[in-house]
């Protein structure tokens, strides 16, 4: 990894920064014995943030049995991680958006589309599989590509050229980043998360979300949730390319033993959840894909290509990870 270039990004003036309330929330929630009253007071000092959190928690996205009217009550009804996830989620959006001087050229719509659809899917996968805390998985998926923002702001047009060369292939993008800058957005993103003192498994998931086989064993299941969530985001957004759907269906089955019906339910629920989440975060994620054609495509691939599904995905993963310019982010 190009350490000098990475330091230029991480210590440069264009690096995204978290608002003070989010930093304090991270500090408090990292303690073994969290003072919930102090936590509530910190969040409630930001009245606009408090209003957005309570409005989101009272929406169908969380489906609370009764309405909550305060942050302290929200913690009691949904738990500490849910409140923390919303504070950091809204803060991440605030730290990236609203900077017009950085907005020219970068496709923020596609960036947020992948982030929001991944976050919604990660929460669903974690709840279904019980291998990860849903709201922590939500955060990791939402933040997995923040390294892209950091590299772009440090290099502007050079990074836009790299993105153009990837032709929308997020997996190819990592290889091109390494060739051009000797550092990748998962590596940069993981270092940002370390500097913000996020939990270790969130850091590892972001570092390894394009090389899941290199993830340390304690964080592997968590990382797989985040990686599959990204697959779901690509599968529902790709109308012509079959590979994202093949990869998504294969990993649903091989990693989490999902049935065909469970995989289709996941795809449908992810679209609905992402649509609502995008509205709460006040983000433009483009036109909502029609669920019917997505599920029909998934079913067609399950039936018509069931026999060679594993072979095709194995070949795909070998091209993307096993050969050529594969990088172990931990060693880089």
Going from the N-terminus, what domains does the chain have, and what CATH number goes with each? 99-322 (1.10.3210.10)
What distances in angstroms separate CA 238 from CA 103, 244, 274, 294, one per listed residue? 25, 7, 16, 9
pLDDT computed for residue 239 by the predictor = 73
3-state helix, strand, coil in the chain (%, to 5): 70, 0, 30
Structure tokens given for 267: 């795809």
**99 band by pLDDT with thresholds 50, 70 and 90:** low
Residue 331 has pLDDT above 50, yes or no: no
What average pLDDT does this structure show over 80-95?
92
**312 band by pLDDT with thresholds 50, 70 and 90:** low
pLDDT computed for residue 298 by the predictor = 86
Q: DSSP strand E in 34-161: where?
A: none
- Residues 83, 75: contact at Cβ < 8 Å? yes
pLDDT computed for residue 241 by the predictor = 79
More confident residue, 166 or 302: 166
Structure tokens given for 117: 């659809």
pLDDT computed for residue 325 by the predictor = 45
Residue 171 has pLDDT above 80, yes or no: yes
Percent of the chain with pLDDT over 90: 66
- Residues 190, 329: contact at Cβ < 8 Å? yes
**86 band by pLDDT with thresholds 50, 70 and 90:** very high
Segment (H or E) for 161:
helix 157-166
pLDDT digits (tens, 9 = 90+) for 232-282: 999 999 877 788 898 899 999 999 999 989 999 999 999 999 999 999 999
pTM of the model: 0.89
């Amino acid at each position: 990894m190009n350490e000098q270039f990475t330091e230029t990004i991480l210590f440069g003036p264009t690096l995204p920064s978290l608002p003070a309330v989010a930093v304090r929330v991270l500090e408090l929630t990292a303690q073994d014995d969290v003072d919930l009253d102090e936590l509530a007071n910190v969040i409630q000092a930001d009245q606009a943030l408090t209003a957005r959190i309570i409005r989101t928690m009272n929406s169908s996205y969380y489906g609370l049995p009764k309405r909550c009217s305060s942050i302290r009550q929200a913690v009691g009804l949904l738990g500490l991680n849910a409140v923390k996830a919303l504070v950091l989620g809204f803060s991440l959006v605030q730290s990236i958006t609203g900077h017009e001087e950085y907005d020219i050229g970068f496709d923020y719509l596609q960036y947020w589309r992948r982030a929001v659809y991944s976050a919604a899917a990660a929460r669903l996968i974690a709840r279904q599989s019980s291998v990860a805390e849903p709201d922590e998985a939500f955060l990791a998926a939402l933040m997995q590509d923040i390294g892209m923002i950091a590299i772009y702001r440090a290099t502007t047009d050079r990074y836009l050229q790299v993105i153009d060369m990837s032709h929308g292939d997020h997996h190819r993008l990592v290889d091109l980043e390494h060739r051009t800058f000797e550092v990748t957005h998962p590596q940069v993103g993981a270092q940002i998360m370390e500097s913000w003192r996020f939990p270790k498994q969130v850091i590892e998931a972001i570092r390894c979300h394009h090389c899941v086989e290199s993830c340390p064993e304690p964080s592997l299941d968590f990382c797989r949730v985040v990686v599959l969530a990204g697959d779901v985001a690509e599968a529902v957004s790709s109308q012509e390319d079959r590979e994202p759907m093949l990869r998504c269906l294969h990993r649903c089955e091989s990693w989490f033993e999902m049935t065909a019906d469970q995989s289709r339910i996941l795809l449908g629920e992810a679209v609905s959840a992402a649509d609502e989440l995008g509205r709460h975060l006040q983000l433009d994620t483009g036109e909502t894909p029609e669920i019917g054609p997505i599920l029909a495509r998934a079913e067609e691939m399950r039936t018509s290509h069931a026999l060679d599904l594993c072979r095709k995905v194995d070949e795909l993963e070998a091209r993307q990870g096993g050969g050529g310019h594969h990088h172990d982010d931990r060693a880089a």
